Structure 1
Amino acid sequence: MGSLVESEAVGAREDTFAWFCQTVDNEVMPVMLSTRHAADFRASVTDLDLGVVRLSALACSPVVSRRTSVHVRRGDPEHLQLALVTQGAVRISQRGNDAVVAGGLVLTDTSRPSEGECIGGQVESVVLQIPRQALALGPDRVDRLLARGLAADAGAGAIFADFLRTLRARGPHCRPEELRAMGAIALDLAAVFLAQQLGDPSEAPAEARARETVQRIHRFIENNLGDPGLTPQAIADRHNMSLRRLYTLFDDQPLTISARIRQSRLERAHADLARGELSGQPVQAIAARWGFASATGFSRAFREAYGITPTEHRASSRTTPRHAEHRNPARPAHHRGPRGPKFTAGDTAPA
């Protein structure tokens, strides 16, 4: 399967609803749709081929959907659909279960009849379409989760939901090989999340659990960039693991943990220095906000990454159009090569 990116959007027109029905029928699954807003229906569909899985982002005016056994016989991709409702609310019914979901996740099975309804106004959702055979969990157990509201605000659910949002926003700009890699990660995160919902996270494959842990650590780093004490040791302690275990988890990552912290801090400071509303704040204050304890160390790291000083970047931002781009921070010198350890015992994030 290739990694083709397809995207379409249609505004309010009389033929929009007909287009939406056909697109869902062709790209997702056969289903009967009805609406009271056909004359001014609004909809958009974005479809990302991620290799082993697919991602569909849908936004539409209120609709009612009904997938009968006739629709199943006419076309069944044999997918489990794990949907994140990002705007509005939906009511889903399947296998005798019924759930109203707003801001959370819900699982459905294309091989079974189902009904759905948008409640209120416009609804937006991001749907990961997972081939049943690709999910290494017992089908009978997974079926217990169908059409039940699944929380997306904590634990594995929050990590999975954040990943779906990022894929929706950034995926259309990725290369095909990047999308395939993201698809493998999405599948692993889904497996860990569903196993957790079943009450046994250990049921998920070991590789899937490891990837979920890496994503959880990435999320922790992003939420704590302003803490000067954010170091590999602090991260290991927070996640109840040894430094050796932490380094092993990141063996196949493009950046070491310290380099990841450094790059993220530089990116945040780089963006803040270009913001006109922050022009009155000293460079050192912005550096400190993102965890740089030393003004000299920040200036040196910034120049190494961007080729100019923080002050020069701030000045150029006042005369450079907002769409102009600077190069991304260069990988720090302690980025690991194909072999050898990534850290010494005392390695910390540059300040």
Structure 2
Amino acid sequence: MLHESVFRTTDLPVDVRFEAWTERMGRTHAPMRLTSDRVADYHAHQRVIELGDVVVWSATFDHLVFRRTPRLIRQSDPESYHLSLLIEGEGAADWGRHRAAYRIEDFHTNSSSRSYEIVTGPDPVTLVAVELPRALVAVPGHRADQVVGRRVSGREGTGALLAQFLRRLVSDTASYRPSDGPRLGTVATDLVSAVFGHAVDADVALPPETRERTLALHAKAFIGRHLADPDLTPASVAAAHHVSRSYLYRLFQAEGLTVAAYIRERRLANARRDLTDPRLRGLPVHAIGARWGFPRAAEFTRAFRAAYGHPPSVLRAPSPPPDVG
């Protein structure tokens, strides 16, 4: 069997889960600053398969914002390429001069030598990834670096070949011997080189909807970071992203949402989670509402009742109603 390791945050005490996940991700790719609106009880699972100099890993994790800064690069740079195939969820990345949004079966490409910000959606993300030294990729460095930041399809061509290899590998490793690891690493390296080579030769432009999808996801991440601010409004979100309110509304309408409704739903969901958290039992109901952007208790109660059919105080009763879960 190949050399593998498995990590689950649920194996750890709640208060150290996110810190442990941050450390784990730093070892998997490169040191990063991670933030999330799920820090209080973070859920993540990762399986790492070592193939000599190449590492393949699969993971499912809650909402996350990855930041690799110039300072972190100066402190530690393993000089590696990263490609991850999105299986479930959504994500977007920002390298300063350009952005990319990802659909299911898209590859995200990255380099430990570049600064970036990656944002996942509010729902858990599942992906399978490969990490390999830049020196192993059989494409000149200056050309291979042109692929970093591109959205590569895993549904066709060389991308599909790499996707099939990674998915097959993580689905079952029982039939492989430890000596197969370096050989499989060579196969992975050849496929990554083929993907990079095809990308620099094709130089295909991204579809026109990419900017809209990326901007919508970044707006959602901004909302998630500022839910506690009672002054968070559609207008403030639009201003932070240098777009008009009408343009922002169109982005959310494409997903059947309004900006205000999305903000309200996220606030109420977080408040509901805190109301059922035994560790916050001593925090008054109105304080939890204020914690998530409802400074007036009556407003919090009305919004909560409209969303869930009962007032927030019911969740603090000895026996909550059977429909609460």
Fold shared per TM-score above 0.5: yes
CA deviations on 1:302-327 (whole Å, 9 max, x unpaired) are xxxxxxxxxxxxxxxxxxxxxxxxxx
**Does residue 90 of the first structure (1) align with residue 109 of the second (2)?**
no
Identity of aligned residues (%): 23
In structure 2, stretches of 5+ residues that fail to align are 204-325
In structure 1, stretches of 5+ residues that fail to align are 202-351
Q: Which residue of 2 aligns with 1:62?
A: 63
Q: Which residue of 2 aligns with 1:6?
A: 5
Q: Which residue of 1 aligns with 2:193?
A: 191
Confirm or deny: 8 A CA contact 2:86 2:102 kept in the other structure: yes
Q: Which residue of 2 aligns with 1:179?
A: 181
Relative to structure 1, the CA distance from residue 172 to residue 116 in structure 2 (aligned partners, 3 Å threshold; closer, same or farther) is farther
Letter in 1 for 2:82: Q
Give the distance between the partners of 2:27 and 2:54, measured in 1 at CA.
Answer: 17
Confirm or deny: 8 A CA contact 2:10 2:17 kept in the other structure: yes
Letter in 2 for 1:156: T
Confirm or deny: 8 A CA contact 1:97 1:148 kept in the other structure: no
Q: Counterparts in 2 of 1:83-232, with a 5 A limit? A: 83-94=84-95, 96-103=97-104, 104-171=106-173, 174-199=176-201
Larger Rg: 1
Confirm or deny: 8 A CA contact 1:171 1:179 kept in the other structure: no
The 3-state SS of whatever aligns with 2:89 is strand
Q: 1:172 Cα deviation (Å)?
A: 6.4
Q: 1:71 Cα deviation (Å)?
A: 0.9
Q: 1:65 Cα deviation (Å)?
A: 1.0
Give the distance between the partners of 1:188 and 1:46, measured in 2 at CA.
Answer: 22
Relative to structure 1, the CA distance from residue 124 to residue 172 in structure 2 (aligned partners, 3 Å threshold; closer, same or farther) is farther
Letter in 1 for 2:80: H
Q: CA RMSD in A?
A: 1.9
CA deviations on 1:85-116 (whole Å, 9 max, x unpaired) are 11111111226221111220021110111110
Give the distance between the partners of 2:64 and 2:141, measured in 1 at CA.
Answer: 30
The 3-state SS of whatever aligns with 1:179 is helix
Confirm or deny: 8 A CA contact 2:29 2:82 kept in the other structure: no
Q: Counterparts in 2 of 1:324-343, with a 5 A limit? A: none
The 3-state SS of whatever aligns with 1:14 is helix
Q: 1:20 Cα deviation (Å)?
A: 0.4
CA deviations on 1:281-308 (whole Å, 9 max, x unpaired) are xxxxxxxxxxxxxxxxxxxxxxxxxxxx
Give the distance between the partners of 2:176 and 2:90, measured in 1 at CA.
Answer: 30
Q: Counterparts in 2 of 1:258-337, with a 5 A limit? A: none
Q: Which residue of 2 aligns with 1:51?
A: 52
Confirm or deny: 8 A CA contact 1:52 1:134 kept in the other structure: no
Give the distance between the partners of 1:120 and 1:150, measured in 2 at CA.
Answer: 23
Confirm or deny: 8 A CA contact 1:94 1:146 kept in the other structure: no
Relative to structure 1, the CA distance from residue 45 to residue 38 in structure 2 (aligned partners, 3 Å threshold; closer, same or farther) is same
Give the distance between the partners of 2:20 and 2:173, measured in 1 at CA.
Answer: 24
The 3-state SS of whatever aligns with 1:106 is strand
Q: 1:174 Cα deviation (Å)?
A: 2.9
Q: 1:15 Cα deviation (Å)?
A: 2.4
Paired positions, count: 199
The 3-state SS of whatever aligns with 2:31 is coil
User: Following superposition, which runs of at least 4 residues in structure 1 exceed 6 angstroms of deviation?
Assistant: none
Give the distance between the partners of 1:144 and 1:51, measured in 2 at CA.
Answer: 26
Using CA pairs under 8 Å that are at least 6 residues apart, name the structure with larger relative contact order, 1 or 2.
2
Letter in 2 for 1:77: P
Give the distance between the partners of 2:197 and 2:31, measured in 1 at CA.
Answer: 29
Letter in 2 for 1:58: A
Q: 1:173 Cα deviation (Å)?
A: 6.0
Q: 1:171 Cα deviation (Å)?
A: 3.2
Give the distance between the partners of 2:174 and 2:61, measured in 1 at CA.
Answer: 20
The 3-state SS of whatever aligns with 1:11 is helix
Letter in 2 for 1:43: A
Letter in 1 for 2:45: S
TM-score (norm 2): 0.58
Q: Counterparts in 2 of 1:13-52, with a 5 A limit? A: 13-52=14-53
Give the distance between the partners of 1:161 and 1:67, measured in 2 at CA.
Answer: 25
The 3-state SS of whatever aligns with 1:189 is helix
Give the distance between the partners of 1:172 and 1:122, measured in 2 at CA.
Answer: 27
